[in-house]
């Protein structure tokens, strides 16, 4: 993309445009601050036209399941062919280290393929209404129907991955979709939508608008023509969406302050390695990254030393370097806020074991021990490369601490005992419990989502497609008993 030149970001029909909006969206690199592109924010009239296009297409042209699958499979192939361009774009606009950016693109290749498969697997079920007295002559079944026009709104931290769980899933379900990517990272999203067009998706099935949440996002929430809102982002915005869109379906993937339990019988080396990676991957700007690590008191000091050793070995630097483990945070404000939370925890009695120093947008990955339960690093979502170690005496106490939060997305537990693992799985209040791996384990076929303030609904291809599908019941009132028709 030429530096600072207006970049086409608004897609209605077959036409990419840079929009007429007064407001400019400047896309800058978190590493080095280079201006990557300037987009014009979509005007209210353009947003309205985008929704109209998706509504009209939905009413006029339903793609057959085979056609959906063919296009999504082709898109998967094209993403694979363009993988390095996608990865470089993620590095530039999100500051994600290149190895992680490549992994994100590889996931998208698979997610699109899974969407292609799911498109041809949509099935209903037979409903045994004839078991009800008076209905002996009736038969019933359900058919899957696309829910309508989907509004997809994504956050900055997975510019390709988040879109891949919203747009191709909507297409697989037979919906049309209006997408608004995060204003900080719109460039990879533009590439992804272009790739879907190149794969043969007819105009109008996906349309794209650009802009800030409080303007363009808000207009989308207030548009009554959407049937489903698929949103990934902060809990505050998720709650606002829920209040605004009323009875319409919402799929909300929100924040977390993930708990990970390291029990006394755990493989401590494995736990330290997994958790060091989990707390620092993409500078901790991952909704399921390890934040609260609950460690049995008998192994606490030993584990703290092992974890610190792993964390100190992480290479912090230029995200385009192959060797980099941890890049910059998304903004200076985000890095400053994380630095403040570390200082607050230390002032409140926590011991800083390693890291925590800020250099511009970089925060050295940090481990703290024995924080006050009141500190922000315990109670709130850090979204930074920081974890706190909290000692516990019994499994019951660990489960109580883990659940003592408004969030409930995923949790991890390290233990050699099946009994302990299953007890935790039953009693942790979260959408997913990961055993002998960190809370940040995720593959794209698994059901993924939270409870409490972490959201509602599930992503993971099959589950997202279900959320965008209505199950319609069909009841046949047969005019003569089935066996009399013989």
> Which residues lie near ligand NAD (CB under 6 A)?
153-158, 180, 182-183, 212-214, 217-218, 221, 232-234, 237, 240, 253-256, 287, 381, 383, 409, 455
Burial class (CB in 10 A: 0-12, 13-18, 19+), 236: exposed
* Secondary structure (3-state) at 377: helix
Do residues 186 and 39 lie in contact, with contact meaning Cβ atoms separated by under 8 Å?
Answer: yes
Q: Decide whether 240 or 427 has the Cβ nearer to ligand NAD.
A: 240
Tokens coding 105: 């693109």
* Secondary structure (3-state) at 446: coil
Do residues 342 and 308 lie in contact, with contact meaning Cβ atoms separated by under 8 Å?
Answer: no
Q: How far is the CB of 156 from ligand NAD (least distance, A)?
A: 4
Q: Decide whether 162 or 415 has the Cβ nearer to ligand NAD.
A: 162
* Secondary structure (3-state) at 229: strand
Cross-strand pairs, 448: 459
Q: How far apart are CA 60 and CA 65, in angstroms?
A: 16
Catalytic residues: 253, 287
CB within 8 A of 51, min separation 6: which ones?
A: 149, 178, 207, 220, 223, 225, 226
CA separation, residue 16 to residues 8, 19, 52, 154, 158 (Å): 6, 9, 16, 20, 23
Tokens coding 376: 């922000």
Cβ atoms within 10 Å, residue 426: 9
Q: Which string of DSSP letters, residue by residue, matches 60-107? A: H-PPPHHHHHHHHHHHHHHHHHTHHHHHHHHHHHH---HHHHHHHHHH
Compute the Cα dihedral for 207, 212, 213, 218 and give only its sign.
negative
Q: How far is the CB of 206 from ligand NAD (least distance, A)?
A: 16
CB within 8 A of 248, min separation 6: which ones?
A: 226, 227, 228, 229
Q: Decide whether 199 or 466 has the Cβ nearer to ligand NAD.
A: 466
Q: Kindly state the DSSP code that residue 353 receives in the 8-state scheme.
A: E
CA separation, residue 358 to residues 15, 31, 351, 408 (Å): 44, 14, 17, 29
Do residues 275 and 308 lie in contact, with contact meaning Cβ atoms separated by under 8 Å?
Answer: no
Q: How far is the CB of 241 from ligand NAD (least distance, A)?
A: 6
CB-nearest residue to ligand NAD: 213
Q: How much is the CA Rg of the chain, to the nearest whole Å?
A: 24
Task: Pick the closest to residue 122 from 473, 472, 469, 474 (CA basis).
Answer: 469
Task: Pick the closest to residue 312 from 389, 383, 364, 386 (CA basis).
Answer: 364
Alpha-helical (H) ranges within 140-230 are 161-164, 167-173, 187-198, 218-222
């Amino acid at each position: 993309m030429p530096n600072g030149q207006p970049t086409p970001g608004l897609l209605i029909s077959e036409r990419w445009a840079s929009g007429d909006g007064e407001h400019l969206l400047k896309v800058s690199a978190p590493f080095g601050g280079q201006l990557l592109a300037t987009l014009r924010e979509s005007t209210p009239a353009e947003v309205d036209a985008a929704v109209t296009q998706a509504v009209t297409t939905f009413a006029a042209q339903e793609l057959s399941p085979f056609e959906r699958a063919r296009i999504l499979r082709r898109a998967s192939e094209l993403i694979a062919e363009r993988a390095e361009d996608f990865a470089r774009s993620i590095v530039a606009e999100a500051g994600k280290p290149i190895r992680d950016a490549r992994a994100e693109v590889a996931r998208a290749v698979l997610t699109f393929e899974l969407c292609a498969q799911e498109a041809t697997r949509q099935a209903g079920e037979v409903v045994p209404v004839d078991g009800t007295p008076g209905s002996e002559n009736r038969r019933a079944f359900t058919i899957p129907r696309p829910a309508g026009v989907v509004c997809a709104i994504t956050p900055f931290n997975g510019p390709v991955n988040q879109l891949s769980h919203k747009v191709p899933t909507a297409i697989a379900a037979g919906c049309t979709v209006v997408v608004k990517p995060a204003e900080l990272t719109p460039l990879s999203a533009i590439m992804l939508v272009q790739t879907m067009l190149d794969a043969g998706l007819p105009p109008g099935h996906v349309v794209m608008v650009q802009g800030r949440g409080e303007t363009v996002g808000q207009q989308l929430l207030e548009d009554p023509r959407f049937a489903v809102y698929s949103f990934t982002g902060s809990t505050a915005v998720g709650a606002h969406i829920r209040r605004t869109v009323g009875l319409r379906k919402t799929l909300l993937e929100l924040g977390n302050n993930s708990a990970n339990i390291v029990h006394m019988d755990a493989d401590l080396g494995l736990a330290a390695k997994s958790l060091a990676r989990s707390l620092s991957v993409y500078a901790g700007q991952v909704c399921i990254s390890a934040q609260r690590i609950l460690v049995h008191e008998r192994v606490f000091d030993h584990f703290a030393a092992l974890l610190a050793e792993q964390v100190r070995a992480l290479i912090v630097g230029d995200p385009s370097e192959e060797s980099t483990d941890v890049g910059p945070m998304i903004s200076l404000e985000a890095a400053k806020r994380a630095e403040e939370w570390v200082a607050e925890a230390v002032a409140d009695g926590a011991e800083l074991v390693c890291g925590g120093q800020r250099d511009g947008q970089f925060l050295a990955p940090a481990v703290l021990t024995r924080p006050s339960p009141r500190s922000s690093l315990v109670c709130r979502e850090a979204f930074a490369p920081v974890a706190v170690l909290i000692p516990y005496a019994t499994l019951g106490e660990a489960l109580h601490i883990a659940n003592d939060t408004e969030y409930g997305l995923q949790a991890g537990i390290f233990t050699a005992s099946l009994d302990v693992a299953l007890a935790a799985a039953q009693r942790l209040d979260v959408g997913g419990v990961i055993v002998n791996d960190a809370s940040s384990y995720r593959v794209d076929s698994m059901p993924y989502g939270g409870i409490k303030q972490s959201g509602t609904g599930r992503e993971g291809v099959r589950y997202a497609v279900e959320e965008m599908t209505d199950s319609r019941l069909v009841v046949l009132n047969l005019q003569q008993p089935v066996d009399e028709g013989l």
